[in-house]
Structures are given as structure tokens and as C-alpha cells.
């Protein structure tokens, strides 16, 4: 039974890792060009240092997704 639990935990962990990688990829796909000045010619605005807040929120989201692994595994 413990072996089956370990295999299921590994499967859930890999799914969580893949989800976190996709979220980070999507965030960086949008965030890096925006931080590089993509909005400057369109709107005339530049990002300020406060723009680091979405990066912190992204990290919190990845961490929360990882913590959900505990609840998903316990519900099995």
C-alpha cells in the first residue's frame, strides 16, 4: 500500500511541477517584454520598480499551487 501511495504522490508531484513551469513560462512570456519597454511605444508608459509586485504574486501562486499538493494527496 505504501508503494502505491508513493507512486501516486510522485504522479501528483510531477503534475504540479508541470503546472508551475507552464505558469512561470506564461508569466515570463508576458512580463519580460513588458518590462523591456513593449508598452512604451503604445502607451508611452514605462514600468516602475513597483512592477516587481506581480513577480512576487507569481511566486506566491507557484508556492500555493505546490502546497495544494498536500490536500490533493490527502484526499485520495
- 28-52: average pLDDT: 78
**Is 46's pLDDT higher than 80?**
no
**Is 42's pLDDT higher than 90?**
no
When divided into structural domains, the chain yields a total of 1
Share of the chain above pLDDT 70, in %: 96
Instruction: Provide the grid cell at 8.
Output: 501516486
Instruction: Provide the grid cell at 72.
Output: 490533493
- Residues spanned by the domain of 40: 2-74
- Residues 47-75: pLDDT tens digits? 777 767 877 888 898 899 999 988 877 77
Whole-Å CA distances, 62 to 1, 15, 22: 30, 13, 10
Q: What is the mean pLDDT of the chain?
A: 85
Q: What global pTM score does this model have?
A: 0.73
Amino acid at each position: 500500500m505504501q508503494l502505491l501511495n508513493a507512486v501516486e504522490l510522485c504522479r501528483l508531484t510531477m503534475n504540479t511541477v508541470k503546472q508551475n513551469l507552464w505558469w512561470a513560462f506564461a508569466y515570463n512570456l508576458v512580463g519580460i517584454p513588458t518590462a523591456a519597454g513593449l508598452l512604451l511605444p503604445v502607451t508611452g508608459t514605462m514600468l516602475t520598480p513597483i512592477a516587481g509586485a506581480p513577480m512576487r504574486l507569481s511566486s506566491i501562486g507557484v508556492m500555493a499551487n505546490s502546497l495544494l499538493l498536500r490536500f490533493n494527496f490527502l484526499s485520495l
